[in-house]
Amino acid sequence: GAVVSQHPSRVICKSGTSVKIECRSLDFQATTMFWYRQFPKQSLMLMATSNEGSKATYEQGVEKDKFLINHASLTLSTLTVTSAHPEDSSFYICSAPRQGGVNTEAFFGQGTRLTVV
Amino acid sequence: QKEVEQNSGPLSVPEGAIASLNCTYSDRVSQSFFWYRQYSGKSPELIMSIYSNGDKEDGRFTAQLNKASQYVSLLIRDSQPSDSATYLCATTGAGKSTFGDGTTLTVKP
C-alpha cells in the first residue's frame, strides 16, 4: 500500500526557535497533503491543506504566519512551526490521499511529537 | 453539531467479547467512511473502509453503514487485549478526512 513518511518522529526545541517537519509520499505522487494536530486525549484537528505549487489553505483559527507550509514537489510537504511556544507542543501528523478513484482514504505519516521547552 | 460524532467512551469489554463502536455523521453527501485505530503516541492506522450500505467483514472486524440514518458502526468480535486503543471514525471527501473524537476501547484479559 501507499506509504507516507514523516520526519522527525520526535523533537524537543527551545521557546522562540523554529522547527521543520517533513512529510514525504514514498511511492506515489501527492498533489495535496494534509496537516493535523492532536493534543492529548483529543481527536485529530485539521490545520491546513498543503497544495503542490500553490499556497496552503488554512483552517479557521490556524495562524498561517506561524505554521508555514511549503509543498515544493509532488512528494514533499513541509510544516515549519515558527517561534515555537510551549502551547505549540503537540502531536503533528501529515496525511496524503490515495491516488485516483472517488473513494479516497488517507495514508498517514508516523507523526511528530513536538515538545517546546 | 459536530460533523462526525462517536459514542462517548471509554468502553471496556472482557477478552473474547464483542466490542461495538458507533458513529454518526451530519454531511449527507459523505460517500466514504473509515475506521482507524490509534495506539497511544502513534499515528492512526486504517482498519476498515466502507462505501455502501450494509455490512463489510474483514476478519474479526465488521463495519456497518446505514446512509439513511447517517450511521456507521464497527464491531470487533473475540476482542483481544491488543485491540485496546482509540478508534476513530472518519469521513473523507476530496482526500480530506473529518474525524470523530474517538472512542477509547479497553479489552481486559
Q: Residue A104 and residue B45: Cβ atoms within 8 Å? A: no
Give Cα B9 distance to the centre of its chain. Answer: 12
Phi then psi dihedrals of residue A104, to 5 deg:
-105, 145
Residue-wise pLDDT tens digits, A79-97: 999 999 999 999 999 998 8
Closest CA in chain B for residue A92: B43
A102 against B24, higher pLDDT: B24
Q: How far apart are CA B51 and CA B43, in angstroms?
A: 23
DSSP letters for A39-72: -TTS--EEEEEEETTS--EEPTT--TTTEEEEEE
CB nearest A43 (choices: B32, B94, B99): B99
B44 contacts in A (CB within 8 Å)? 44, 93, 108
Q: What percent of chain B has pLDDT over 90?
A: 67
Q: Does A105 touch chain B (CB under 8 A)?
A: yes
Q: How far apart are CA B43 and CA B99, in angstroms?
A: 13
Q: Does A37 touch chain B (CB under 8 A)?
A: no
pLDDT band for A1, please (50, 70, 90 cuts): low
Q: Are B63 and B77 in contact (CB under 8 A)?
A: no
Closest Cα of chain A to B78: distance in Å?
Answer: 26
Q: Residue A110 and residue B45: Cβ atoms within 8 Å? A: no
Q: Does A62 touch chain B (CB under 8 A)?
A: no
Residue-wise pLDDT tens digits, A28-58: 888 889 999 999 878 888 999 998 888 999 9
Residue-wise pLDDT tens digits, B21-36: 999 998 777 778 999 9
Looking at the predicted structure, is the pLDDT value of residue A71 above 80? yes
Here the cell at position B35 is: 475506521
Chain A to chain B, count of Cβ pairs less than 8 Å apart?
62
Residue A63 has, within 13 A of its CA and on its CB side, a CA count of: 8
pLDDT band for B38, please (50, 70, 90 cuts): very high
Looking at the predicted structure, is the pLDDT value of residue B12 above 70? yes
- Residue A100 has a pLDDT of 55
Q: Residue B34 and residue A42: Cβ atoms within 8 Å? A: no
Q: Does A49 touch chain B (CB under 8 A)?
A: yes
CB nearest B43 (choices: A49, A93, A104): A93
Residue for grid cell 459536530: B2
Residue-wise pLDDT tens digits, B43-77: 888 899 998 999 999 999 999 999 999 999 999 99
